[in-house]
Homo-oligomer: A and B are copies of this chain.
């Protein structure tokens, strides 16, 4: 019965029915075990979309770039889904930043679907359901899924591990300290963008990125791919075409080298392990009032250590019998 409903929804979503897509998204985001058959059906129908992660520090002009890039990709006839995880993103309903006009143009285009999603914690990681949402768009026939996230904390690493192509956006005029931070995340980029390229100090930022790329350890993520550094101006439409072409070229390159198969397997392995961890965490949460508080009392009294208590907890929640 439910299986039938999910195929209906999926068929309607593929036919471009926006309400069906929205309903599927709500289902996968709920995390309800009752929707497992639907998740299986969605996952089975997915596997064609190009998932592109776009990350950068606040103020790097990421959201405006995503809007400009989306318009370009739409120009080639492909459908684009945007998942905005950046809490400061202009899509999130509250404050509207960036240029209103372009956002409105996107909002009126039935070939663009924008979904805002919460981050899991203050700074931490993709929320439950983000990758299932990618599957929904993929299964519904969106050729490109852009995941926009703020370049702070765990999000950008998670996005890089979930995406087929990762774009890191920098803005000119960032100080030395920020460059040092960037050094830590340099290796996740398949493509570097320096936004606001019309600013006088943009050339220096581009030169610094080139220098860091040539000095640092060669990214082992994909052999035979030279990470490009692209200067863009979303307002003046500079470099956006070039960025789209680089993204498409990277996609082709991963297919030619066979790297796409490795990436897909890595993504699947991570998703499997994260899903299992989530099930365990849920089981813990439901344990709150019973054994957990008893164990905590013993910990507070230092009658047992956290690891020994953890072993007892796992024994007690009987993972195996309920999943």
Instruction: Tell me the residues in window 174-217 of chain A with beta carbons closer than 8 Å to chain B beta carbons.
Output: 174-178, 180-181, 184-185, 187
Contact A310 B272, beta carbon cutoff 8 Å: yes
Bound-complex Cα distance A264 to B46 (A):
46
Can you list 26 contacts pairing A with B, beta carbon distance less than 8 Å?
A39-B305, A40-B308, A43-B306, A57-B177, A58-B177, A58-B181, A59-B180, A124-B157, A153-B157, A154-B154, A178-B178, A261-B300, A264-B300, A265-B300, A273-B281, A275-B307, A275-B310, A276-B280, A276-B310, A277-B281, A279-B311, A280-B280, A311-B323, A315-B319, A315-B323, A317-B319
How distant is A5 from chain B, measured CB to nearest CB, in Å? 17
A157-B124, A275-B307, A275-B309 given as contacts; is B59 within 8 A of A177 (CB)? Answer: yes
Contact B306 A268, beta carbon cutoff 8 Å: yes
Bound-complex Cα distance A21 to B227 (A):
47
Judged by a CB distance under 8 angstroms, whether A15 is at the interface is no
Q: Mark A47-90, 1 if CB is under 8 A from B, else 0.
A: 10000000001111000000000000000000000000000000
> For A181, what are the chain B residues with a Cβ–Cβ distance below 8 Å?
57-58, 152, 181
Q: Mark A268-289, 1 if CB is under 8 A from B, else 0.
A: 1101111111111100100000
Residue tally, chain A, CB below 8 Å to B: 77
Bound-complex Cα distance A58 to B269 (A):
33
Bound-complex Cα distance A300 to B43 (A):
10
Interface residues of A (CB under 8 A from B): 36, 39-40, 42-44, 46-47, 57-60, 121-124, 131-132, 135, 152-154, 157, 171, 173-178, 180-181, 184-185, 187, 261, 264-265, 268-269, 271-281, 284, 292, 295-296, 299-300, 302-320, 323
Q: Counting chain B CB atoms within 10 Å of each CB, which of A135, A153, A292 scores highest? A: A153
Contact A184 B320, beta carbon cutoff 8 Å: no
Contact B281 A269, beta carbon cutoff 8 Å: no
A123-B154, A173-B175, A280-B314 given as contacts; is B323 within 8 A of A43 (CB)? Answer: no
> For A178, what are the chain B residues with a Cβ–Cβ distance below 8 Å?
174-175, 177-178
The residue that A306 contacts in the complex, of B177, B187, B272, with Cβ under 8 A, is B272
Q: Counting chain B CB atoms within 10 Å of each CB, which of A152, A277, A281, A310 scores highest? A: A310
Q: Counting chain B CB atoms within 10 Å of each CB, which of A59, A177, A180, A279 scores highest? A: A177
> For A308, what are the chain B residues with a Cβ–Cβ distance below 8 Å?
36, 39-40
The 7 closest A-B pairs by CB, nearest first: A275-B310, A43-B305, A311-B323, A276-B310, A271-B306, A268-B299, A58-B180
